[in-house]
Amino acid sequence: MSENALRDLNTLPTAEKKNDDSSKGNFTKPCNGNTVEKVEEQQKKSPASVHINGGETVNAGVEVAEVEYIDSENLNDIEDVDTCLKNLLPGLDSKDWVLVVEALNNVRRLSIFHKEAMQSMLVDVIPLLVKSLKNPRSAVCKTAIMTSADIFGAYNDDLIDCLDPLLVQLLLKSSQDKRFVCEAAVRALQAMTTSVSPLSLLPKLQPYLKNRNPRIRAKASMCFCRSVPRLGVEGIKEYGIDKLIQVAASQLSDQLPESREAARTLLLELQTVYEKSHDLSTAISEHPETGSWENFCQSKLSPLSAQAVLRVTNVAREGLVIGS
């Protein structure tokens, strides 16, 4: 991970309100699929209303624009793919934030309808997408977050080599106080955990479980917890239940309840997998208790950690017995 990425990760944005106020100016009309040249012509025409977050209207300056957050299922196909591809990188790198938003939405359209056409450009698109994720203007940042989710859904493990800078920014955005940006980032992280294979993703997530920012740790823990079950029983055994139980145990005493809850959920999953696989392998053993979950925990963890893990899993088991 680069030095810049680490610096971004360890510093949450602190000027959201100030930046939000400054975002209400210099609006221009988006191109809605048109070329950059057409947008520049449209900027000279009559102003239009701007709708942000489902209907809020902002009118600041001579020119205003229509900014809309479009759900993936409501995006339309692109009529002229070649022209869109030609103008994609200049649009993403534009100093005009409305052009950037339109280019981001075009990245989303290409990911959904023409992913093969854009695949060779990903190495150039991803750094500009990260740049937009860092943008203090909410319209750009949220659209970039939505773009990240669509890219995950389209390219899956093809993104693994350039995942780190995206992951850093999404963890940051999912940990901030601006609710609608935070919620969008959480959805993007969920898209990541369901699209990228766990064998590739888990090693990427693990360093963030020890980040000094507790919110970052919490979001990373939740992603880690969601990814592990996708390994399946054999995948979990291959990855190493001992490694995974150590990760989960370390999160049980974390500062935020989201981390602790994710750890508890993961431990119950690991217990189920361990006991199923152990029952099969020791069914004919004279002393199957020697390979019990309790003994396994005590052999792989420190006494205090093993006690905490067993407390969680035993309470859950007792609850199931009482409930039945």
- In Å, the largest CA–CA distance within the chain is 85
Distances (CA, A) of 124 to 80, 85, 86, 154, 307: 21, 12, 13, 17, 49
Q: Model's pTM, two decimal places?
A: 0.78
Between 320 and 222, residue with greater pLDDT: 222
Q: What percent of the chain has pLDDT over 90?
A: 69
The yes-or-no verdict on residue 289 having pLDDT over 70 is no
Which pLDDT score, from 0 to 100, does residue 177 have? 85
- Sign of the Cα torsion 142, 147, 153, 157 reads negative
Q: What letters, b where the CB count within 10 A reaches 16 and e where it falls short, cover 268-290?
A: bbbbebbeebbeeeeeeeeeeee
Per-residue confidence band for 51, with pLDDT thresholds at 50, 70 and 90: very low
Average pLDDT over residues 9-29: 41
Q: And the tokens for 68?
A: 């809309």
- Token code pair at residue 192: 């990541």
Q: How far apart are CA 170 and CA 204, in angstroms?
A: 13
Does pLDDT of 15 surpass 60? no
Do 260 and 266 touch, CB atoms closer than 8 A?
no
**Does the pLDDT of residue 324 top 80, yes or no?**
no
Q: Which two tokens stand for residue 166?
A: 């995206």
Helices (H), the chain: 3-9, 16-22, 36-42, 81-92, 97-113, 115-119, 122-133, 138-155, 163-173, 179-195, 198-205, 214-227, 232-239, 241-251, 257-281, 293-300, 303-323
3-state secondary structure 6-36: HHHHCCCCCCHHHHHHHCCCCCCCCCCCCCH
Query: 3: pLDDT confidence band, cut at 50, 70 and 90?
Result: low
What is the pLDDT, as a whole number, of residue 1?
A: 53
Query: What band does 22 get if pLDDT is binned at 50, 70 and 90?
Result: very low
Express each pLDDT in 296-315 by its tens digit: 999 999 999 999 999 999 87
Q: What is the pLDDT of residues 54-102, one digit of tens each?
A: 433 334 343 455 678 999 999 999 999 999 999 999 999 999 999 999 9
Structure tokens given for 275: 């006991």
Domains and CATH numbers, the chain: 15-196 (1.25.10.10), 203-324 (no CATH)
The confidence score (pLDDT) of residue 124 equals: 97
**Average pLDDT of the segment spanning 4-17:** 48
Q: What is the pLDDT of residues 178-207, one digit of tens each?
A: 899 999 999 999 999 999 999 999 999 999
Give the rounded distance of the alpha carbon of 35 from its chain centre.
30
